[in-house]
Structure 1
Amino acid sequence: MSQTANSPGIAPVWLTAFLDFPAEQFEREVAFWRAVTATTLSPSRGPTGEFATLVPADGDAFLRVQRLGDGPARVHLDVHRVGREFEIRQSPGGFVFCEVGEGESVRPKPVAWAGGHTSLVDQICLDIPAGRFDEECAFWAEETGWEVRATSRPELRFLVRPAGIPLRILLQRLDEQDGPMRAHLDLASTDRAAETRRHVGLGASVVSTGTNWTVLRDPTGLTYCVTDRNPETGLLG
């Protein structure tokens, strides 16, 4: 798999997050994430029917599911570019992602829930061992052509998402010096407490609570976060 950066000037036009689930957990996980995101499931596709799309009520799809032959549940990213042929790649730290052709174009609106709050899956967080952090930040800045910015927390940086792209990319430096690189999804919500209660009611469990985020596990153990960020802008405050 290639680790070279993309040719300059070919910026992503869309991002898709894939939720990859083991076969024995697939149906349960898909049902949970459909409820979390208020989406419907497309017809299956692929040689063995292993792929499907979570279709939003408005806008274009940016979440898909894959039934794995083996291995644990995980998240991977598809980077869409005009004129790009399909290619499986990996970052210097070993995070596997796909380069694909141009995709959809209309970012869905946040979902309104009973009680009045809204939420939206809007971010993929790359969890990076400390020894790879600077290298990965440089790689993803070159890969996307997006500016890297610091946050108020030294372990977090983000790429400035162009208007219309459905997912932000957050880069998180882990406490561990080395080890496997991985990723998780984040939701933005106007009422984190209400959104967390909704997820727990669907079968998730709370792992920990921070200043602006709550870490949860879905029913089969995949970790993700609900945050206080604005679902419209992706920003705090």
Structure 2
Amino acid sequence: MSTSPFWVSAFLDFAPGDFERGVEFWQGVTGYTLSARRGADGEFATLVPPEGDDYLRVQALADGAARIHLDLHVENPTVAAEAAVELGAQVLVRHELGYVVLRSPGGFVFCFVHAHRARRPPPATWPDGTASQVDQVCLDIPPSAYDAEVPFWQALTGWDLDPDVSEEFARLAPPDEQPLRWLLQRLDDDEPAVRAHLDLSCTDRAAETARHVALGATAGPAYDDWTVLTDPVGTAYCITRRNPR
């Protein structure tokens, strides 16, 4: 059975005390509504787009720092998890509800959940006529983990790999109907584990950056192809010059 995910959801995991402010900001960024909270302690919710199906979710962590984790939607999470273990992953939790939490060889936390075939939402259009969308996840990989982490994800997903996007980046190519592109970044310095951040595409990077700052973000360095920002609770992300699909 294939471990290639039919759909991928990105979770914004907020540190204790940051959930409400973090969710408010990302609702403003995306234009999405918030679902009813779920989980034993109401720790989970979904950002629901006006069209298409959801792929951005939020979690209130009981402890620890903010992070991004991914849910890979597959036919059989148990079978997919066993395949991941053979590739070098470690199982952290086998939940009674059927999902499996794992850690990649480089330390990135992800989950296998039951298959969820869906429709990619269109970009949001704003009052000034610009458009934007969260449409990419970037795995930030320490150099010591890069040579193991990249082939792990390529083998696990079965997606084509372009290893030569640039000296710094490689790219995995999920099916076009999926909501998130995948970028793999080799960091300059070693860190304890692989982490991730989200990227947005937009039709006007300057206008989009100003909109985010008005919502409470802090703008950081601006490069030729992207601008680094930090949300009000400390989550880093980028606005890129790519046009929304």
Task: Determine whether 1:56 maps to 2:69.
Answer: no
Letter matched to residue 94 of structure 1: G
**Which residue of 219, 230, 239 maps to 1:217?**
230
1:200 aligns with 2:201: no
Q: Do structure 1's residue 132 and structure 2's residue 132 form an aligned pair? A: no
- 1-side partners of 2:108 and 2:12: how far apart? 14
In structure 2, what is the Cα distance between the partners aligned to 1:197 and 1:173? 29
> Over residues 105-126 of structure 1, what are the superposed CA-to-partner deviations in whole Å (9 max), with x where a residue is unaligned?
1000001112211110011110
Distance 2:74 2:220 in 1: 36
CA distance 1:167–1:56, change in 2 (3 Å): same
Hey, what does 2:132 align to over in structure 1?
119
Match runs of 1:47-86 below 5 Å: 47-84=40-77, 85-86=98-99
- Partner residue of 1:4? none
Structure 1 residue 163 displacement after superposition: 1.9
Verify the 8 A CA contact 2:165 2:171 in the aligned structure 1.
Answer: no
> What does 1:1-237 align with in structure 2 at a 5 Å threshold?
9-84=2-77, 85-232=98-245
Q: Which runs of 5+ in 1 are unaligned?
A: 1-6, 233-237
The Cα offsets for residues 158-204 of structure 1, whole Å up to 9 and x where unpaired, read as 10120211111110000113532111100011111110000000000
For 1:114, what is the secondary structure of its paired residue? Answer: coil
How many correspondences in the alignment?
Answer: 225
1:62-96 CA distances to partner (integer Å, 9 max, x unpaired)? Answer: 00000010111111000001233411111110101
User: RMSD over aligned Cα, in angstroms?
Assistant: 1.2
Over residues 3-44 of structure 1, what are the superposed CA-to-partner deviations in whole Å (9 max), with x where a residue is unaligned? xxxx6x332100000000123111010000000000000000
8 A contact 2:70–2:111 mirrored in 1: yes
Q: Secondary structure at the match of 1:166?
A: coil
Q: Structure 2 length as normaliser, TM-score?
A: 0.89
Q: Is the 8 A contact 1:120 1:187 kept in 2?
A: yes
Amino acid of the structure 2 residue aligned with 1:207: G
- The SS at the match of 2:137 is strand
Aligned partners of 2:7 and 2:165: how far apart in 1? 27
Moved more, 58-67 or 81-90: 81-90
Deviation, structure 1 residue 231? 1.1
Cα distance in 2 for residues equivalent to 1:230 and 1:90: 32
Name the CA distance, whole Å, in 2 between partners of 1:151 and 1:15. 24
Whole-Å separation in 2 of the counterparts to 1:82 and 1:183: 25
Report the alpha carbon displacement of residue 151 of structure 1 after superposing the two structures with TM: 4.6
Whether contact under 8 Å (2:16, 2:64) holds in the other structure is: no
Q: TM-score, normalised by structure 1?
A: 0.92
Secondary structure of the equivalent of 1:75?
Answer: strand
SS of residue paired to 2:18: helix
Answer whether contact 1:206 1:215 (CA < 8 A) is retained: yes
Maintained 8 Å contact 1:132/1:178: no
